[in-house]
């Protein structure tokens, strides 16, 4: 796309597309971008992902899973910008409160501020209401794998709330790092159905498609987008995060990406090809969501 970064008089790297100071060196494509061109570049790639995979269709009612963390906050801002002219597509945010003391309250507050700023409808659902207990209470009662349990309840809560508001798609903030981790975790677990699933959609429930518009954007670019756009907030980390297999896989792929830039993209593209092969063998297009499990 672009060639290596230019340098200003004082040795400050400059944007490859204008004379402004660079805020980002893309080590994979070998280019420097200023704040404005970086924002446009990320928006363009998300727009292309939505277009290439027909993620959002005319008349769609999209429920955005908004935890209040950086990924989902950037996602809802991007969707709002990208869909601004698409008057027949509506957005509603859904936040799931798992009941994790010292963590969820802070992100819930950010989620509330975000929807107020964007003028987007918001629904909050809690584990307490749906499962009769908070995640903290389940862990205190002896639950050893909080992330597995959390994932199941959160998915159910999101789908129930999305069905209630008549959503046709649930958009989640999974980024390229998340996607690469998922590919490797499916390998480590020997989960063939998971490994061969199309990357942009992890299936449907009650006829509602699950879509991942950020799956081609690396985590550091999502964070930088939030900073440059002025919407990034430092937030506490979930106290249970370190217990998950994903944490170990995350460390491994982050290290590989640092040593060999482009590793994340190669993992995800390789899996995309495998998924497409399996879909063709099964007579599907590869971009279609799986039928209800
Ligand atoms: Fe749930 Fe685990 Fe994520 Fe915490 S880190 S919110 S427990 S999935």
**CA–CA distance, 169 with 118 (Å, rounded to integer):** 19
Which atom of ligand 1 is nearest to 146's Cα?
7
Directed axis angle between helix 219-228 and helix 176-189, to 10°? 160
* DSSP reduced 3-state for 33: strand
**Ligand 1 mean position, distance from CA 245 (Å):** 12
CB-defined site of ligand 1, < 6 Å: 98, 146-147, 150-151, 238, 240-241, 244
Residue 292, pLDDT above cutoff 80 = no
Of 143-152, 192-201, 262-271, give the lowest mean pLDDT range. 192-201
State residue 9's pLDDT score.
55
Q: Left (φ > 0), alpha (ψ -120 to 50) or beta: where does 71 sit?
A: alpha
Using pLDDT thresholds of 50, 70 and 90, give the confidence band for residue 291. very low
Dihedral sign, Cα of residue 274, residue 275, residue 276, residue 277: positive
* DSSP reduced 3-state for 173: coil
Average per-residue pLDDT in the chain? Answer: 89
Residue 290, pLDDT above cutoff 50 = no
End-to-end CA distance of the chain, in Å? 41
Which atom of ligand 1 is nearest to 151's Cα?
8
Domain boundaries, the chain: 56-280
Which homologous superfamily is 56-280 in?
HUPs (3.40.50.620)
Whether the Cβ atoms of residue 91 and residue 80 lie closer than 8 Å to each other: yes
Residue nearest to atom 6 of ligand 1 (CA): 238
């Amino acid at each position: 796309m672009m060639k290596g970064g230019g340098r200003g008089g004082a040795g400050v790297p400059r944007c490859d597309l204008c004379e402004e100071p660079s805020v980002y060196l893309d080590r994979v494509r070998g280019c420097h971008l200023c704040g404005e061109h970086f924002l446009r570049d990320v928006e363009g790639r998300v727009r292309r992902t939505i277009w290439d995979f027909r993620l959002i269709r005319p008349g769609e009612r999209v429920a955005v899973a908004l935890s209040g963390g950086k990924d989902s906050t950037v996602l809802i801002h991007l969707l709002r910008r990208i869909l601004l002219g698409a008057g027949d597509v509506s957005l509603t945010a859904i936040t799931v409160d798992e009941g994790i003391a010292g963590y969820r309250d802070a992100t819930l507050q950010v989620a509330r501020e975000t929807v107020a700023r964007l003028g987007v409808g918001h629904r909050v659902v809690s584990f307490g209401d749906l499962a009769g207990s908070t995640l903290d209470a389940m862990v205190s009662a002896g639950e050893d794998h909080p992330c597995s349990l959390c994932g199941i309840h959160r998915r159910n809560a999101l789908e129930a709330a999305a069905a209630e508001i008549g959503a046709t798609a649930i958009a989640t903030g999974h980024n390229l790092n998340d996607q690469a981790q998922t590919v490797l975790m499916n390998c480590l677990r020997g989960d063939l159905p998971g490994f061969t699933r199309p990357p942009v959609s992890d299936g449907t429930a009650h006829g509602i498609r699950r879509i991942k518009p950020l799956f081609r954007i690396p985590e550091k670019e999502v964070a930088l987008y939030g900073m440059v756009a002025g919407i990034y907030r430092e937030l506490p980390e979930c106290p249970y995060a370190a217990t998950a297999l994903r944490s170990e896989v995350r460390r491994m792929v982050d290290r590989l990406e640092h040593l060999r830039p482009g590793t994340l993209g190669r993992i995800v593209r390789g899996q995309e090809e495998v998924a497409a092969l399996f879909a063709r063998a099964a007579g599907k297009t590869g971009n279609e969501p799986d039928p209800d499990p």
